[in-house]
Amino acid sequence: MEDLSIVKIGGNIIEDSDALDQFLTLFAQLPGHKVLVHGGGKKATQLLPQLGIEPKMVNGRRITDAATLEVVTMVYGGLVNKNVVAQLQAKGINAIGLSGADANTIQAQKRSVTEIDYGFAGDVKGVDGETIGKLIHIGLTPVFCALTHNKKGQLLNTNADTITAEVAIGLSNHFNTTIYYCFELDGVLEDINRKDSVIKHINTTTYDTLVAKGIIVDGMLPKMHNCFHALKNGVKQVKIGNLGMFQTANTNYTTLVL
């Protein structure tokens, strides 16, 4: 099978025009087939008060009511997605912007209400890897925003890390898939106050130890859960780091394996 890189870009890079340009240049230079996934939550959070809508967050997760869903749809699927696609075209990459509703590529269901009602938040139920693979094989580079659908006409706000993992799993029957989670840090840090304390390799055993020691906490926990979920379901490897991990000579990032 051919190799495929699936890259998730972090919000801080999206917000910084210079960092975004640098990232997209490196992404364009990645050899072989590739897919890009992005969110846009910070930009949506900035826009909501301007439209008279109060952002609602619980434990770092957005509550997506009907008004918020309209805004995140405009920001993720419109402003951010089309800007990224246009910049990739300028760099010689024939990109196509997609939500999960486009070509029925990512199906989800509204998150069940337990202690917290997250509103129109979606949990992924299925990915059409065959259709995405066809787009890739005709020379297109899919750029997914953080929106899915329930096949009943309802769009759903869905975590971009989760979409990355699920798309990678869905494509693992068609390609040798590697996930790159690209954000502002060099990788998973042993000490959050020391930017040079990157943990180079993590497997399931060392992961459990790092969680028990309180080294991996808060927002990194769901990200790491997605990583190992992907690895257990056909993804070859996962790499976490900043822009430097796309440069051949650089080894300062975190690699996850089972």
203 is known to lie in a ligand binding site? no
Tokens standing for residue 160: 């971009």
Instruction: Tell me whether residue 2 is exposed, middle or buried, using C-beta atoms within 10 angstroms of its C-beta: 0 to 12, 13 to 18, 19 or more.
Output: exposed
8 Å CB contact between 160 and 38: yes
Query: Residue 198 forms beta bridges with which residues?
Result: 189
* List of residues 6+ apart from 218 with CB closer than 8 A: 60
94 annotated to a ligand binding site: no
- The answer to the question of whether 81 is labelled as a binding residue is no
- Distance, CA of 49 to CA of 249 (rounded, Å): 44
For residues 148 and 110, give the distance between their C-alpha atoms in angstroms, rounded to a whole number.
10
Q: How far, in Å, CA of 236 to CA of 258, rounded?
A: 9
User: Was 241 annotated as part of a binding site?
Assistant: no
- Do the beta carbons of residue 4 and residue 172 sit within 8 Å? no
Alpha carbons 37 and 39: distance in angstroms, whole number: 7
The partner residues of 34 in beta bridges, in order of sequence, read 5
Known binding-site residues for substrate equal 40-41, 62, 157
Known binding-site residues equal 40-41, 62, 157
